[in-house]
Amino acid sequence: MGKVTVGAAVVCAAAVCAAAALVVRHRMRCSGKWARAMAILREFEEKCGTPSGKLRQVADAMTVEMHAGLASEGGSKLKMLISYVDNLPTGDEKGLFYALDLGGTNFRVLRVVLGGKDDRVVKKEFEEVSIPPHLMTGSSDALFDYIAEALAKFVAKEGEGLHPSPGQQRELGFTFSFPVRQTSIASGNLIKWTKGFSIEDTVGQDVVGELTKAMERVGLDMRVAALVNDTIGTLAGGRYCNQDVIAAVILGTGTNAAYVERAQAIPKWHGLLPKSGEMVINMEWGNFRSSHLPLTEYDQALDVESLNPGEQIFEKIISGMYLGEIVRRVLLRMAQEADFFGDVVPPKLEIPFILRTPHMSAMHHDTSSDLKVVGSKLKDILEISNTSLKMRKAIVNLCDIVATRGARLSAAGIVGIIKKLGRDTVRDGEKQKSVIALDGGLFEHYTKFRISMESTLKELLGEEVSESIVVEHSNDGSGIGAALLAASHSQYLEVAEA
């Protein structure tokens, strides 16, 4: 009996030692994998670095590219498109104006009554209409007839006293957020459709002409006074509320900037100089690129696999369409090379664009002690459960790295515009205010992004200059801004002024 007991004890002790060794090995393996995951994260953080010196180089590069794009067509990755908007609203505009905002699978029609300096926007009404999928790939006439009919129905609901003066046509501002080669304030040829539209017979056509013919077909007497994009609409809306507005930036799903340039500073402009001496330039800054941009292997892979490789590089590192996708790509590498989520790579994590920027923002802003929002997002979107607190903290850190890089680079872009306009220094005794109108979901809803962008502006401009630079939220530029531009480019202005 004794011998058996001793033997059993020896076997038992050996089993305990083996189990302990397994636990130690498992812990070492785990800590080795954790170390590998953290090394991937640290390396990514280093590559995303945006120290002040680098951001100043980005701002200077933006200014240089702006000059090049203004000098000649195709002279820069920045298109620096002449918008033909040479009269921004002053606040004096009066009367009834319409706007049509077409930029995706829905369009909006708006009616605005302007009351001049004292009353400003007296009335604003709008309706949103969804476009049936078959019209997005049908014929040009079918799409524009559908839009014109919706517009005519909306006009028919004009209330008492809302009609135009006798003998005057109704006037419309048309926000068309697709690539257009503008030929005047109220004409522009479609370069190509995006966002799921594919209507061959519109390409190369004047979109204002297409809309005008459709309005005639449905018996609607209305003139398109201005063809604009959403960024220029934001600039107009901002200027209407504040005459110190000099530029507008959209930070949303995509990104763009527009600003007011001196007409004489546009070498590629060969027409008559406008009376105002000013011209709004649509930068198309999403296409900016520079060797100073902190690009990582994840950004390069995202670009190669995108629908437009080599294009929109700036947009791909700062805008809402892509931030969540960059986070997903880094998490996937951590899962593949460091078993970050366990032995199996979560299948959902391999789906491009499954992690959207609003999900990333929700995780980044999680203030609960156990980061339960992070846990629930991982479970709901990626079907990953049982994450530890330290894993969740690492994910919040990753969101912070991606958002901070985007926010700081967008600030550097704004500084580039301010430098181009010579407003990056304070002249003796001169206190000129420079207001930048901002819009877009990223700026409006991603608080940490906005705070980082605003603090970076101060950091780059310095205490004294940043006191005279103001960032203001300008809401609904693509709607009310277009109606305001119809007012400031009205055919009846001369009559009123005479």
Q: How many CB atoms lie within 10 A of CB 151?
A: 24
Q: Are the CB atoms for 303 and 336 separated by under 8 Å?
A: no
- Angle of helix 372-382 relative to helix 357-364, nearest 10 degrees, comes to 160
In angstroms, rounded to a whole number, what is the distance separating the alpha carbons of residues 339 and 405?
26
Q: If you count DSSP H runs as helices and E runs as strands, how many of each does the chain have, helices first?
A: 17, 13
CA-CA distances (angstroms) from residue 101 to 76, 98, 111, 123? 29, 10, 12, 18
Any bridge partners for residue 82, and if so which? 281
Query: Which one from 101, 145, 230, 299 is the annotated catalytic residue?
Result: 230
In angstroms, rounded to a whole number, what is the distance separating the alpha carbons of residues 398 and 328?
10
Whether 195 is a known active-site residue: answer: yes
Whether 230 is a known active-site residue: answer: yes
In angstroms, rounded to a whole number, what is the distance separating the alpha carbons of residues 285 and 293?
14
What region, left, alpha or beta, does residue 426 occupy, with left being phi > 0 and alpha being psi -120 to 50 degrees?
Answer: beta
For residue 212, what are the contacts with CB-CB under 8 A and spacing of at least 6?
223, 224
Alpha-carbon torsion, ordered 12, 13, 16, 22, to 10 deg: -120
In angstroms, rounded to a whole number, what is the distance separating the alpha carbons of residues 380 and 398?
19
CA-CA distances (angstroms) from residue 220 to 174, 370, 435, 469? 15, 60, 39, 44
Q: Are the CB atoms for 171 and 223 separated by under 8 Å?
A: yes
CA angle 143, 149, 152 (to 5 degrees): 140
In angstroms, rounded to a whole number, what is the distance separating the alpha carbons of residues 234 and 230?
6
Q: Are the CB atoms for 433 and 468 separated by under 8 Å?
A: yes
Structure tokens at 216: 């005639």
Query: Which one from 157, 192, 195, 390 is the annotated catalytic residue?
Result: 195
In angstroms, rounded to a whole number, what is the distance separating the alpha carbons of residues 246 and 453?
18
Give the residue numbers annotated as catalytic, written as ranges.
195, 230
